[in-house]
Amino acid sequence: MLNQLDSAHQRERETSFFANPSQEFLADIPHQDIITKFWNCRILKKGRFLEEDLYVRNGKIIDSEELFYNEKKVPHFDVDCKGMYIAPGLIDLQINGGFGFDFSYYKDTELAVKTVAKRLLSHGVTAFCPTIVTSPNYIYHDILPKIKKTKGSGHGAAVLGVHAEGPFINKEKKGAHPEKFITDHRGTMLSIKEAYGSHGYENIAIITLAPELRHTDQIIRKLKKDGIVVSLGHTTANLTQSESAVKHGATFITHLFNAMLPFHHRDPGIVGLLSSDQIDLEKLYYGIISDGIHTHACALRMAHKVHPNGMVLITDALSALGLSDGRHTIGQMDIEIKNGVAYIAGTNTLCGSTSTMLDCVKFFHKSTGCSMAFALQCASWHPAKVLHIEKQKGTLEVGADADFIIINEYFDLFSTWVAGEMVHKTTNL
C-alpha cells in the first residue's frame, strides 16, 4: 500500500496552478525530498507530445513507477497544467548579448552575463553560450576569465561556456567582425592560447574557425581533444576543405547560409556538407538564424528537408534584443536597428538578430510545417547534443535536469522552470 496523506495534507497538496505551498506543511520535509507532480499536460518525449505526468524531485526528473512501487511514496504537490504543453527549456548556442548589454564589451562583463541570463528566463531560455565576436587579445584576456560556466537557477539561465566566434576567420566573410582583429592561428595551439589567454581558454565551449586557413585540421584535432566544439563559419571554404575539417573533428556550422559562400552546383561549398556522402552526418549539426530576416523561409525548408536531425535554432541576438530602434554596440563595432533589423551602422550589412528563441521556433514551425515537437527539439535537444549534454539538458527523460517551459499550442510562454522551480510566469496569459 502507498503511504497516504491525511485529508488536511491532501488538500494542501492539491494546490491550484502555481499557488504558494504552505510553509508549515513543508517544515518537516527536506527541500531536496519534495516531490512535485505536473499533470493535465502533454510532455515532449521521444520526438512527440505524450499525455503523461511529469514528476520532479531535487531538481531532477524522476521515474513515477520507481516512486510509487519501490519507494512507496506520493507527490507532495500537484500542479495542474490546464492541458498545456511541457517542453525542455530552450538552449541558445549563439547570443552576443541583449537588453542593452554586449558580451564583447569588456567593462561590464559580469553584469552583462548576469542581466541577460536573468532576462532570458522570460523568453523560455534556460541555458546559453555567451558569444564573443572577433576582438583584440586584451579584450579576450579580460572577458573570458569572467564568464564561467554556471548552473541555472532563479537568478538566471545556465551558462554553458563561451562561444568564441573568431578571431580565426576569413576576412572576406567577416560580416560584423572588425577586420583589423581577424588573425591566423598559424597551425599552433600557442597562437590559440595567445589570443584567448591561458586563464580564459578553459571557459570556452565552442570556437568558430574558417576551415580554409592553413593547418586548421590539426588545430581542430587539438581543440577537440581539449573538449571544445569546433564550428565552421565566416568562411570561403569549398566542399573538400569543409569535409576535411569535419573528418578531423568539426561538428557544427555557424549560422548556415550567412557569412559563407552561397551554394553552387559545381562546388556547393560548406552548405554542401548537409548532403555530403564523405562524412558521418549523424555527428554534424548546423546553427541557423530562423528570424525571417537572416534566412528566408525557403532556405529553412531546404535545410530541414536535407538534414533535419542536424538543425539547431539560434538567435545570434545582439545587445539590441529587447530594445527599440536606434544605435547600439556589438564588440568593437557600432550597429543600427531599423524596424527591428540590425545593420552595421551606416551600411546595409546584417550583423545579428533581435529575435528571441521562441520567435525563431515559431517562424521555423510556420515556414517548414514541421511538428510542434520537432521545432522545439531544434531549440533544446539538438543544441544539447552539440555540447554532448543531451542526457542532462534539452530532454524530459528520467534523470535529466528539470529545466522546462510550459506553453500553449501557439508557442506562447506561460512559465519557465529551472531545476524544478518556477523562475518566470507570464502574467498576461
CATH of the domain at 131: 3.20.20.140
Residue 323 contacts residue 391 (beta carbons within 8 Å): no
CA 336 to the chain's CA centroid: 25
Find the domain containing 122 and state its range: 88-386
Separation CA 335–CA 5 (nearest Å): 60
The arithmetic mean of pLDDT across residues 211-223, rounded, is 97
SS3 55: strand
Residues 28, 177, single domain; the answer is no
Residues 272, 359, single domain; the answer is yes
Residue 140 within a domain: yes
Residues 366, 263, single domain; the answer is yes
Instruction: Work out the mean pLDDT of the chain and round it to a whole number.
Output: 91
400 is in an annotated binding site: no
What residues are labeled active site? Answer: 316
Report the length, in residues, of the chain. 429
379 is in an annotated binding site: no
258 is in an annotated binding site: yes
Residues 206, 161, single domain; the answer is yes
176 is in an annotated binding site: yes
Please enumerate in sequence order all residues whose Cβ is within 8 A of that of 20, keeping only pairs 6 or more positions apart, or say none: none
Catalogue the E-assigned strands of 269-410. Answer: 285-289, 311-314, 326-330, 333-338, 341-344, 404-407
DSSP string, 156-170: BPEE--EEEE-SSS-
pTM, two decimal places: 0.92
Residue 2 within a domain: no
Cell 512535485 belongs to residue: 36
8 is in an annotated binding site: no
CA 312 to the chain's CA centroid: 8
CATH of the domain at 61: 2.30.40.10
pLDDT digit string (tens) for 240-285?
999 999 999 999 999 999 999 999 999 999 999 999 999 999 999 9
Separation CA 192–CA 225 (nearest Å): 14
Residue 366 within a domain: yes
155 is in an annotated binding site: no
Residues 126, 202, single domain; the answer is yes
The pLDDT of residue 329 is above 80 = no
CA 334 to the chain's CA centroid: 25
Residues 183, 204, single domain; the answer is yes
pLDDT digit string (tens) for 35-76?
999 999 999 999 999 999 999 999 999 999 999 999 889 999
Separation CA 357–CA 314 (nearest Å): 7
pLDDT digit string (tens) for 342-355?
888 888 887 778 89
Report which of residues 339 and 231 the model is more confident about: 231
**Least confident span in 211-225, 275-289, 304-318, 323-337:** 323-337
pLDDT digit string (tens) for 384-412?
999 999 999 999 999 999 999 999 999 99
SS3 60: strand
pLDDT score at 332: 67
Residues 414, 322, single domain; the answer is no
Question: Hey, what's the cell of 263?
Answer: 551554394
Residues 40, 136, single domain; the answer is no
CA nearest to 92, candidates 299, 316, 416: 316
CA nearest to 200, candidates 106, 125, 126: 106
pLDDT score at 28: 60
pLDDT digit string (tens) for 185-203?
999 999 999 999 989 999 9
Residue 185 within a domain: yes
SS3 23: helix
The pLDDT of residue 209 is above 80 = yes
Residues 376, 401, single domain; the answer is no
Residues 107, 239, single domain; the answer is yes
Residues 261, 181, single domain; the answer is yes
Cell 527599440 belongs to residue: 324
Separation CA 16–CA 300 (nearest Å): 41
Separation CA 318–CA 1 (nearest Å): 56
Q: How far is CA 401 from CA 56, 162, 395, 417, 419, in A?
A: 9, 21, 8, 10, 6
Residue 1 within a domain: no
Residue 160 within a domain: yes
Residues 318, 380, single domain; the answer is yes
The pLDDT of residue 145 is above 70 = yes
pLDDT score at 32: 72
pLDDT score at 2: 32
Residue 209 contacts residue 170 (beta carbons within 8 Å): no
Residue 386 contacts residue 251 (beta carbons within 8 Å): yes
Residue 105 within a domain: yes
345 is in an annotated binding site: no
- Total structural domains within the chain: 2
Considering only CA atoms, give the Rg of the chain. Answer: 22
Residue 66 within a domain: yes
CA-based torsion, 112, 117, 120, 125: positive or negative: positive
Separation CA 392–CA 372 (nearest Å): 22
CA nearest to 93, candidates 407, 377, 357, 403: 357
DSSP string, 119-154: HHGGGTEEEEEEEEES--HHHHHHHGGG------BT
